[in-house]
Structures are given as structure tokens and as C-alpha cells.
Amino acid sequence: MVDCGEGAQLGFMRHHLSYSRLRHIFLTHLHGDHVFGLPGLIGTLALNGTGGEVTIHTFEDGKKQLQPIFDYFCRDTPFSINFNIIKPEDAVILDTKSLTVRTVKLKHRIPAVGFIFEEKMGERHINPAMTSYHEIPKAWMRRLKGGEDFVRDDGSVIPNHILTTDPTPPKSYAHISDTVYLPGLADKIRNVDLLFHETTYLEQHANMAAPRGHSTARQAAIVARDANAGRLLTGHYSSRYTDDRLFEKEAKEIFPNVILNREGLVTDI
């Protein structure tokens, strides 16, 4: 989960998301609209009997502010709450067998980062027709997925590429929340499959964007174009606008593959 504003619990229930699957919460920065839903969410996790661990990736100040709240209101949680202290810098903050998470430093009114989620290359896929034809034992399937050639008892070899197909290409997602337009950002998220980049303002109000630590839809589209992103997901719209479609229209003038983000949207990466 990235950020946790007010209404997060309602969002979970409305979209039938499982609380028990939530294990990592990444906070981009410590403004209330990105954090205020967290104490209530942690409390609900406790009421639901969620076990195991929940890791909150945030700055040192985030831990200082949140830990006393959890200690007072959520002292009896059946799970442990861990803090992974991050800094406003470009760094790897999580590295698992299947996923790497990086931060990129953003420029907002307070310290802020974006998050890049990158899948690692997975295993090769078994070709059932060929493994059946060559009578490959089931005990070999794991080794084939790992890339090994099959060796018969007589020493003959069946190359792996005959028995398997290539792994599914790994996907990547960049979440770039509150920030001014950063031209150098594109190089740090190059070729990302899906880019969420805040589009708080339209270009007609560009003079308001930078002083308030935000970007326009046009600027987000420039980042997507320069990064060779697969698609751009808009969002974080200022309430001064009554027609969200204007953000899509402005962004598409620069970058064609735009998804107009709305509450409850589900999109494939």
C-alpha cells in the first residue's frame, strides 16, 4: 500500500480487499492527506485478528509521530509493527526474492520520495507438450524452470529451451506523488511499465504548481514521454477543477498513453 489517507478503510471494504494480505505500507511524505488514515487502519487490522508483521516504510519523523499513537490506541495488536526508516534519497529500501523497491528523491514542501516497484525475472515456463513428448519426470520440473538442461541416464541431453518457454517479462511501477516538475526524474524511472505521476494542476495554473510543490498534467506527461514509460496514470487533482477529463486531454497532447485515474479504478500493470 502506498500512502494511507483518510477513508482508507472504507476503500478496503468498498473494493473487497483483504486486510490479511497487507504487509507493507510505503509513505511518500508526512502530510496529513497521505497519513491520517493509518492509525485507524492499524486499529482495524488489530480488530480483525491480523497476525504476522506489518512494515511501515517512512522517515524518522514518521516513526516519531506514529509510534506514540500506536502505543496508545493500538497497544494490543496481534501483529508486530516494524518501521523501516528511509531517507529522502535515491536508494534501494526493500529487496526480496521477487521484488525490488527503490526510492527517488522528490521536491515538495517537506521531505518526500517516490517509489519504484520492480519485479525480478521469474522462472521459465514448462512446455507441457514437449516435456510429455520427451517423457520428462515430474521431479525435474523445478530444475527445468530454473534453466537446467535435462540429462538422461545414458548421458544424452535435451536443451532447456526445447522443454520450456521464456519467463514472463517482469513488470515495473513508479509512484511519483507530490513533487514539482523534475526533468532529471525520467532517467531514474526509465522504461517503467506504468507511471503514476501527480497531476495536481493544469498548465494554465503552472505559476501555482511549483511554489506549492506540485506538477501540472503537461509536466507529468513530459516525464512519461522522456522516461519512455508504458502508460501514464494521472491523479491527485486540485479541487479547483470540476472536470477531471481536462487532465487527460492536456497530458495526451504530450504523451498518448494516458489513463484518467478515478476513485476505485483498477488497471493492469
Residues labelled catalytic = 33
C-alpha separations of 18 from 7, 56, 247 in Å:
16, 18, 31
Please name the residue that has the C-alpha cell 513533487.
179
Q: Are 70 and 40 a contacting pair, CB within 8 Å?
A: no
Longest dimension (CA), the chain: 75
CA distance 203 to 246: 10
Cα angle value 122/128/131 (rounded, 5°): 100
Instruction: Confirm if 201 and 220 have CB atoms less than 8 A apart.
Output: no
Q: How far is 4 from 32, CA to CA, in rounded Å?
A: 9
* DSSP conformation letters of 174-227: EEE-S----TTHHHHTTT-SEEEE---B-GGGHHHHGGGT--BHHHHHHHHHHT
> Do 196 and 220 contact (CB within 8 A), yes or no?
no
Neighbours of 249 (CB within 10 A): 14
Instruction: Report the 10 Å Cβ neighbour count for 101.
Output: 19
Is 143 within 8 Å of 175 (Cβ atoms)? no
Question: Would you state the cell numbers that stand for residue 11, as one nine-digit string?
Answer: 476503500
Rounded Cα–Cα distance for residues 62 and 88 (Å): 12
